Amino acid sequence: MKVDHITILSKSLDASMPYYDALLPMLGFRKLRAHVWTDDAGFHFQFLQAKAESRAYERYGAGMNHLGFSAPSIDAVVAIRSEMDRLGFAVPDIQDLGGVTALFMKDPDGIRFEISHYPPGTSVVD
């Protein structure tokens, strides 16, 4: 079995969707319909409105910490950072994590996305 979708609940779809509309095509996804994206290989992102009384995402709380994507090159990591910055989204500096080039961005709800290039022989998860 493999993971086929992730559903992200957003405090405000109006605030979050411009972020994902910008980021997901750079990661190889295309929009199927409002709030649903695919990589055409059987994986989907679905976005739904969170209930108003729900608690916010907590980076170190129980649950998902971040979503990681492997970039084909350092240039791809740099290009994603540059384009998200050009589009007006807050983007931090790219980090060197012992040879791994990593960009950690947050969506409007604070959910983190990692876009990293792993040199040959480097493990994705340590």
Q: What pLDDT does 106 receive? A: 94
Per residue in 98-124, pLDDT (tens digit) is 889 999 999 999 999 999 999 888 866
Give the whole-angstrom CA distance, residue 116 versus residue 77.
6
CATH code (residue 98):
3.10.180.10
Task: Answer for the pair 105, 92: CB distance below 8 angstroms, yes or no.
Answer: yes
123 in any annotated domain? no
Both tokens assigned to 49: 């409105």
Give the whole-angstrom CA distance, residue 118 versus residue 121.
8
**Banded pLDDT at 82 (limits 50, 70, 90):** very high
126 in any annotated domain? no
83 in any annotated domain? yes
Task: Answer for the pair 77, 115: CB distance below 8 angstroms, yes or no.
Answer: yes
Fill in the DSSP letter of residue 110.
-
pTM of the model: 0.86
**Banded pLDDT at 126 (limits 50, 70, 90):** low
Domains: count for the chain:
1
Per residue in 2-27, pLDDT (tens digit) is 889 999 999 999 999 999 999 999 99
